[in-house]
């Protein structure tokens, strides 16, 4: 009896396995391997809101990458910066694709951080609504005021002011509105199947 066996050489590279947590997000039906510009923009803005919400937000992103065993994708601070600089609105925009796997990893991390901050996010959204309805200056609430101020500073320092869509957000009122909308999206991610629903929404109009 002849028995044939296929042996893998010891020095042959093992293809990297996809972390199981990323399998919870479906692959979008898009023609390219990289993410569309709108997807890259939205992912970066979500992370910008997290950085404004929590001091040490960048460190938290890297810490969660390790905790969720995603450090093979998000290796270090420079690697994270390169991914986020694929956002076409960035001042230091890099013409590199953001792969689907990279985008999945960033979305998973953002959603896990949002879950940890669910109570804080919900409280801030309620405060914002109540103060806006009563026309109370937002500066009277320290936590809300600090979040909005940090978001404005982060946005203005990192985004390219010559881009038309950035120019439309030059006023503090517009940036505050964007910052609160992003908080709403973060809260949405904490709900039932919120991570999956948010992920799918990133490709609305892009799916073929």
- Predicted confidence (pLDDT) per residue in 174-190, tens digit: 999 999 999 999 999 99
Cα distance between residue 46 and residue 172, in whole Å: 18
Cβ atoms of 179 and 147 closer than 8 Å: yes
Cα distance between residue 105 and residue 126, in whole Å: 29
What is the CB neighbour count within 10 angstroms for residue 28? 18
Mean pLDDT of 76-104: 90
Q: Tell me: pLDDT of 14 over 70.
A: no
Q: What is the pLDDT of residue 202?
A: 92
Tens digit of pLDDT for each residue in 128-170? Answer: 999 999 999 988 999 999 999 999 999 999 998 888 778 778 7
Angle at 87 between CA 17 and CA 97, to 5 degrees: 40
Which of the two residues, 6 and 55, has the higher pLDDT score?
55
Q: What is the pLDDT of residue 208?
A: 47
The angle that helices 37-53 and 57-67 make with each other, rounded to 10 degrees, is: 110
Cα distance between residue 140 and residue 96, in whole Å: 42
The three-class DSSP label of residue 192 is coil
Q: Which residue has the tokens 């990289």?
A: 34
Provide the token pair at 36. 């569309």
Cβ atoms of 97 and 86 closer than 8 Å: yes
pLDDT band at 12 (very low <50, low <70, confident <90, very high): very low
Q: Which residue has the tokens 């010559």?
A: 162
The three-class DSSP label of residue 137 is coil
Q: Tell me: pLDDT of 16 over 60.
A: no
Cα distance between residue 178 and residue 185, in whole Å: 11
In sequence order, the β-bridge partners of residue 159 are: 90
pTM for the whole thing?
Answer: 0.85
Cβ atoms of 59 and 51 closer than 8 Å: no
pLDDT band at 13 (very low <50, low <70, confident <90, very high): very low
Q: What is the helix (H) or strand (E) element at residue 33, kind and residue range? A: none
Average pLDDT, the chain: 86
Q: Tell me: pLDDT of 119 over 70.
A: yes
The three-class DSSP label of residue 99 is strand
Radius of gyration of the chain (CA): 20
């Amino acid at each position: 009896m002849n028995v044939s066996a296929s042996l893998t050489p010891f020095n042959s590279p093992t293809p990297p396995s996809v972390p199981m947590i990323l399998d919870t997000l479906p692959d979008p039906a898009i023609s390219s391997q990289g993410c569309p510009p709108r997807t890259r923009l939205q992912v970066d803005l979500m992370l910008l809101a997290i950085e404004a919400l929590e001091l040490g937000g960048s460190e938290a992103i890297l810490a969660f990458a390790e905790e969720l065993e995603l450090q093979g994708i998000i290796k270090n601070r420079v690697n994270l910066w390169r991914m986020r600089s694929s956002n076409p609105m960035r001042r230091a925009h890099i013409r590199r694709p953001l792969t689907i796997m990279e985008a999945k990893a960033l979305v998973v991390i953002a959603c896990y951080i949002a879950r940890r901050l669910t109570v804080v996010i919900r409280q801030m959204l309620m405060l914002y609504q109540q103060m806006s309805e009563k026309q109370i200056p937002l500066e009277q609430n320290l936590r809300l005021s600090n979040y909005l101020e940090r978001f404005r500073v982060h946005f203005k320092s990192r985004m390219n002011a010559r881009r038309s869509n950035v120019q439309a957000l030059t006023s503090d009122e517009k940036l505050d509105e964007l910052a609160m909308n992003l908080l709403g999206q973060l809260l949405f991610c904490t709900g039932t199947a919120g991570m999956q629903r948010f992920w799918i929404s990133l490709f609305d109009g892009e799916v073929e």
